[in-house]
Each structure stands twice: as structure tokens, then as C-alpha cells.
Structure 1
Amino acid sequence: MGFRLLGSALAIDLGTANTRVWARNGQPVVRQASAVAYIAGRGRHVAVGAEARDLAQRQAQNIDIVEPVRRGAIADFGATVAMLRVYLRQAMAQRSVFSPAAVVSAPVETTGVAYRALRDALRAAGLSRVYPLPKSLAAAVGAGLPLDHPESVLVIDLGAGVTEIAVVARGMVTAGYSMAFGGVDLDEAVRRYLWRTVGLQLSRPAAEDVKIRVGAVDPALAGNSMDLSALAPPGVEAKVSASELAGVLAEALEPLVDQALWTV
């Protein structure tokens, strides 16, 4: 991730879908889902991360699932603190010495209220010092871009709920925009298209899997048919071409492209 250049003990990216923590040497020590499972009506959490997501997919009884981060901002303070405490303990367990300080990535257009909520949640989870870093600058560091060059670089960081679009030069964000658009919107575009064209109703995780398969497809095979019948009810055949779905994703990405052009 390259956060080791910043000299802090930990680096944290609190995302809509996933939360990641890196050690000072840049090695990832935690990568978990941003989710908390509570016993319904009791306010006591029983699982976080992948375990909470698994409970959600199994539709466990008497369990409420909270996704504490929405569109890059804290939506449930208590759930965020509960989740971060677990992840910080995991990070600390892999270190012989722990310094309670961290660099945390934040959207370039974070409001004062949103940043204070982020800072307070991290402090309540066990950190004493929190240093904000624009997500787009963190992405540039992680991509290995030289920060001391005068040339401007356009950085687009597509997250689950927020996309950061920024121009970076000499280690600074010279122009930036936080867009309420991300991977979940692409998942929803896939879901709507498959429901409209072949009557296939997908869960969000299943739609995400289809999106990833389309995004990773070999261009030479783009016209090939994708058989999604295994995701359909018994006896229902659901086949679409990869090129069709690629077109759906391209159309959904048009607002992002327009915003990127406006930024530069």
C-alpha cells in the first residue's frame, strides 16, 4: 500500500464494503467485510466481518446485520466502533509493539462532521492519534506513483460506495471530487438488467460475482454466452452474452467518465 512512507504505526481504510488495515511496513494485516451482526433486540454484537456477512446470506434467525459505513461515511457509530475494536485487536496481535496511532484514508470532500465522526470512532476503538489522508492520494501511493514529480496524474479510485476522482501532483491533490457512485451501483445495474431481460432475480453477492466475471473476461471472448442458469429457479434457463453485460456496465459508468473529464 505504500503507507510505510508516512511513518505511522498503522494505516486504515474504512470502506463501504471492506475495512483494511496495514502495518507500518506496508504489509496488510486485516482485510475484512464492513459488517456487524447483532442479536435482534439486544444490542449485543455476535460477529463482525465475513462471519456477519455469512449470517446475512444464511438469513439467520434473530440476527440483525448492520453495515456501518455507507457511501464512504459512518452511518452507525456504535457498530463502527464495535467492528474497529475487533480489527484493531487482530492487527495488534500480529505486532510485538503497538503504537496507538494510524493514518486513515478519507474522501477528498469529507465534511467536518463526517471527519469528526471517523476520528471519534477510531479513538473510541482504541487509537489515540488519527491522521487523515485523502483516499485519492493513498491510492496514488498504493499504485506506486512517484509523489515528488511535478507532472499531474489523474487518479480514479472506484470503491464500493464512493468513487474518488482527483488530480495529484507533487504529493498533493490539486483538484478532487468525491462521487456517490461505486461498485454497488454496478451490481445493481447488472441485477436490473438480468431481471428485465431473462427474469433472473439475483442477490447482491451473486450480481457482484457476475460483474467481476464480465469485467475479467478476455476481450476475444466477449461475445460468448454466459450461462447463469445455476442461479435461476429450477427449470429456468438464463443465458446472456458477456458483451451485453459489458455494455450494461459501460452505460452505468458514463456518469463517472463525465465527472473525470470535468475534473481534468
Structure 2
Amino acid sequence: MTHAKVQVVDEAIERADQPFISARHVTAGYENRRDHTRLIALRDVSLDVARGEFLAIVGPSGCGKTTFINMIAGFVQPLEGEITVDGEPVTGPGMDRAMVFQDYALLPWRTVQRNIRFAMENRRTKPSKAEQDERIRKAIELVGLTGFEKAYPHELSGGMRQRVGIARALVTEPSVLLMDEPFGAVDAMTREAMQAELEKIIAQTGQTVVFITHSIDEAVTLGDRVVVVSSRPGRIKEIVPVDLPRPRMDSDIRGSQRFAEIREHIWSLLQSEALGAKREHS
């Protein structure tokens, strides 16, 4: 009996030491059937994400950032290599992962409450109606939309619509939150407010986040680490740790010397990549 307990503890320790999300020598691309060619978006990417980590990814347009999180989500399969979540190979979408898109992707004929419920309606195994109602209530409260349950998308501001998108992702209680430029379509003031909200939400939920952004400031403000990706075919150029205390949005972190140093370093890595991507598309 004692030996069995020791073995269980040892397995738990070993599991805790393993990366939660792992990409091993991943190459991804798309077939152009008309020209019989293959476009490589990412090449030979290896990356580990710890449980509960907030990983930000920056890079020039077309470098494969979205392709990478689509592979974690299970929407896209790699041409080479493998992605695992909690030790299991990703072969398709799963309840343990949820995506927040840039364009809200709300159903205009549904209220806030029913848009959020939609995330649970299409599950093979779904909670009872009572549990769904409770999850929706908690998610709406978490994103600060209490009182807007019966509102339709056209009655909401851009920031409020994105809150609905985040609530819809949270309501399934996923282990991994995948966010593809979630604040790219809102104004600067709303963007900062949403960053502060997100930091508070993740502090409460403890979820693992993979977050794509074109804003270096946003990446440094939110991320535990920032992955800098080269121009296409995307490769990891450097992974920059962000050694700034939390909470960050409630303090003058952005005015600190360390924030400026990290930001400047990431910009120095991206500058040549951005110019290279611009020449490629000109």
C-alpha cells in the first residue's frame, strides 16, 4: 500500500514537471491545388508552454502565428512534427481548449446569454440546463456584463462584444485559452481596459493562455514570456522572459525602465523581420 502511494506521488510530480503544451519540430503549411505548390507558414518550431503560463506571440503578418494556435486548437494539422496538450497528441478540437477570435464571431440574432450558451450546445456531452445557466451567470459576471444578458450584439460596443466572446470561451471551463488578436478591432482606450480585465480574469481562472498580438506593448504588459517569430516561413527567433511584477495594469509598469528595456529588445528583433515581410509583399 505504501509503495502504491509513493508511486502515485512520483507520477504526480513527474506530470507537474512536464510542459502543459508542447510543440516538437512542427512544420505547417497549405496546399495550393491550382498551382500544385505548397506554402510553408511555419518551419521546425519547437516550444513548451507551462501550465498556467501566459504566452504572448509577436511577429510580422503572414509569419504563421495564427496557424500555430489553430494547430493547438486542433483546427489545422501540422505537415510535420507533433503538438501535445497535457501529454496527449492534438488530433482535433477538444473541450480542454477554447478560442477567442478578433472579429467577435457573435450570432446577431442571439442575445448575450444565448451567444454564450452556444459554446455548450454543440458539445457531445454537455452540462444540464441548470449548470449551463450557472456557468453563463458566472462568465457574464467575470467579464463585467451583468445587466446585459438580454442585449443583442448590435446594442453593444466593440469592447462589450469582445467580452461576450471571452465569456463564451470561459463558459466551457477550458484548460487552454487561445486568443488571436482579440483586442485588435477596438480603440486604444478600450484596448487598455480589456487588457486590465483579461489580466484579472486569468488571475482568477489560472488558465494557460496563448495570445497573439501585433502590439509589443500589449505582449510585454500581459505575457510571462514573449515569443518572437521571424517572417515567413516562421521560426522562433527568440523567447523573451518578462520579469515584471503582477498585477501590471494596476501599476505604472509601462513607465518603468525595465518595461522599456524589454520592449526595445523585442522591437530590435522584429524590426528587420517586419521590413523583410514588407519587401516580400511589395
Q: Report the TM-score when normalising by structure 1.
A: 0.30
Q: Which has the higher contact order (CA 8 A, sep 6+)?
A: 2
Whichever structure has more strand as a proportion of its residues is 1
Q: Report the TM-score when normalising by structure 2.
A: 0.28
